[in-house]
Structure 1
C-alpha cells in the first residue's frame, strides 16, 4: 500500500481518481477546498485553499510515494511543488489536449504546444496556455507523468456534454431531435472511470513522460447513433448546418444554448489525438455504448428535463425545429 496525495479529489475526475486509489488499496489523502463536493469514502480529507500561503502545512513533513494533481492554475502547481516536490517519489499531472498550438488535425504527444501562460492565474479562455505552464513546472521533477486527457464522459459529468444527446433522445421518444450536421467530425470520448483507474495504475507503475488519456476514435455521427440506440429513440434526427445554427445563436461544444460535441474545423484535432500509447501501457477502455447506457441511467436520475449546463432546453429546441420545416 502506497501513500498517495490527490491534490483535488472532490471534483468529478479527482474524485474518481481518489476512489480508484482507495479501491486499489492505497492510503489516500485528498487536499482541496471541498467546494466541488464531498471527498470520496475511505480517504483522509484535508480542507485547504491552494491560493493561500500555508495551504500545504497539514501534508508536509511526511514523504509521499505518489502525488496526483488535477490543477489548472500554474500558481497552484508551483506552490505544491515547492512544498512537496522534494519529498515525493512520483508526480502525476492531469493535463489536456487543449495544450496544442494547432488543434485542426491529428495530434501526437510531440505536437507543438501553445505558449505557456505568463503568470500564476489564467482566465477560462486561457485554459490551454495555463495547462502548458503547469506542465512545464511538473516536468522539472525527476519522476513525473503528464496525462493529456481528451473529452471525458461518464455518469456524473458536470459539464453535461456527453449526456445531452442520450438524454434528449430519451426525452423526445418518437419526436424529432435537433442535431448538428457534422456526422463525419472526428470524436473521442474516454470514460471517466477508465481514465481514473488507468491514471492510478500508471502512477503505481512509475510511468514517466507524456501520454494521451483518450477514447477510441469515432465520429459524431456514430456517437449520435449509439446514443439514439441506447435511449430506444424512434424519432428523427434533424440535422442543421453550422451556418444556420450560428445564425440562430446556437453555440458549439458546450455551455448554455449549445449543441454539445460540435466543434469548428479549427478544433477537429481534439477527436484525432493519438491513442496508441495509453492502451499499450495498461489502459482498458469499456465500449462507448456501455458508457452511454450508464450515462442515461444517471441522466434519468437527475431528470431528463432539468436545466442543463450544456445544450438546448426542449421548448427552445422545438421552436428551432419549427423554423427548419420546409
Structure 2
C-alpha cells in the first residue's frame, strides 16, 4: 500500500488531496496543528506545530509521496531536512503567481518568475520554496503551479460570488467583459491529479490549470446553471475605480476582475497539465457544484470577496444606464 504524507490536510485543498489519496487506496497521514478543520475519515492526523522542535519525530518510515502546501520557508525547509531523505517523490503545490509578468497569452512553464526578495509576498515566497525544495529533493520533485482553485468549500469567495449573485436575481454589476478571461481549476480535479501524478512519479514543473474562457462565456454559463435572466450592467475600469471598487478579491471587490493588460494571467498554457493526465471538467459542472455549495452556505451570507447587495445597489443607482430608474 502506498504511503502518502500531506503536510497540512485540514484546510480546503489539503483536505481534498487527503480525501483523494484515501479514495485511491493509499495509507494517508496528515501532519498539521488541526486548527483549520478535521482530516477526512480514515486519514490519520499527526497533530503538531511545524515550528516546534521535534515536529516530525512521529513520522517514521518511508513515504511514497510527500505533499507540501506551505509557502513559508520556516515550515518548508525543516520539513525537507526531516523527510526528504525518506520520500520517493515530493510534490510542492506552488502557484502561477510566481510568474514575473501576466501580459503574454499562452505562456507556459518556461516563463520568467519573480525574484524572491520579499518573502512576505506570496508569489515570491513560493519561488523561494520551489528553489529550496529543488535543492533538497532534486529529480524526485513535482512543482505543481495551480491557477485560481475553485469548488465547494472555497474560503476566498472569488468564484462563488458570481453564481451566488446571479442566483439572487436583479440587475448585476459587472466589469466590461471585452478583453477579459476566466481560467480556473476545480479543486477536485487538482487533488485527484496530485495523487495520480505522485503515483506515476511525475516530476518537473507543471501549470495545473483549466481551460480559458472569455468573461462573457463564464457569465453566460453561470446564467445557464442558475437560470438567471438578470440584466448584466457593465461598468468600465475607471468608473469602478473612482468609486473604490477593487480588483480581483476581498471586500468591495468585483471578483475575477483584473486589468486587461494582465489578461495573460487567465490565459496560461495548460498543455503540460493535460498531457500528464490532468482532468478539466466542463465549466458548467464546476459552476453547478459551486452553486449547490453556495446555497448550502447561504446566498446572502457575509463574504470575504465581492460587493454587498447594498453597495452594489448604490453603485447601480449611479450608473449612467440606470440613472432615474
Q: Which bracket does the TM-score occupy, shorter chain normalised?
A: over 0.9
**CA gap 1:188/1:78 in 2 versus in 1, 3 angstroms:** same
State the partner residue of 1:171: 168
State the partner residue of 2:61: 62
Tell me whether 1:21 sits opposite 2:21 in the alignment: yes
| Equivalent pairs, count | 318
Summarize deviations over 1:87-134 as a string: whole Å, max 9, x none: 11100000000001112223210111111246xxx33xx000000000
State the partner residue of 2:266: 271
1:204 to 192, 199, 202: 199
2:288 is paired with a residue whose SS is: helix
Counterpart-to-counterpart distance in 2, 1:242 and 1:256: 17
Q: Identify unmatched segments of 5+ residues in structure 1.
A: none
Contact map agreement 1:184 1:221 (CA 8 A) in 2: no
Q: What are the within-5 Å matches in structure 2 for residues 192-231 of structure 1?
A: 192-231=187-226
2:301 is paired with a residue whose SS is: coil
Report how far residue 47 of structure 1 moved: 1.2
Counterpart-to-counterpart distance in 2, 1:133 and 1:43: 30
Report how far residue 39 of structure 1 moved: 1.0
Task: Provide the aligned C-alpha RMSD in A.
Answer: 1.2
Counterpart-to-counterpart distance in 2, 1:130 and 1:262: 24
Counterpart-to-counterpart distance in 1, 2:260 and 2:127: 22
State the partner residue of 2:46: 46
State the partner residue of 1:162: 159
Tell me whether 1:130 sits opposite 2:125 in the alignment: yes
State the partner residue of 1:292: 287
State the partner residue of 1:310: 305
TM-score, L = length of structure 1: 0.95
Q: Identify unmatched segments of 5+ residues in structure 2.
A: none
Summarize deviations over 1:27-77 as a string: whole Å, max 9, x none: 000011222211111110011122223221211x31111101111112211
Tell me whether 1:246 sits opposite 2:231 in the alignment: no
Contact map agreement 1:182 1:262 (CA 8 A) in 2: no
Counterpart-to-counterpart distance in 2, 1:80 and 1:46: 14
Divergent runs of 4+, >4 A? none
Report how far residue 159 of structure 1 moved: 0.4
Contact map agreement 2:151 2:187 (CA 8 A) in 1: yes
Report how far residue 266 of structure 1 moved: 4.6
2:64 is paired with a residue whose SS is: strand
Report how far residue 270 of structure 1 moved: 1.7
Summarize deviations over 1:150-179 as a string: whole Å, max 9, x none: 01111111100111010001012xx20111
1:57 is paired with a residue whose SS is: coil
Summarize deviations over 1:233-291 as a string: whole Å, max 9, x none: 11200011111111111101000110000012353222121110111111121101010
State the partner residue of 2:97: 98
Tell me whether 1:258 sits opposite 2:243 in the alignment: no
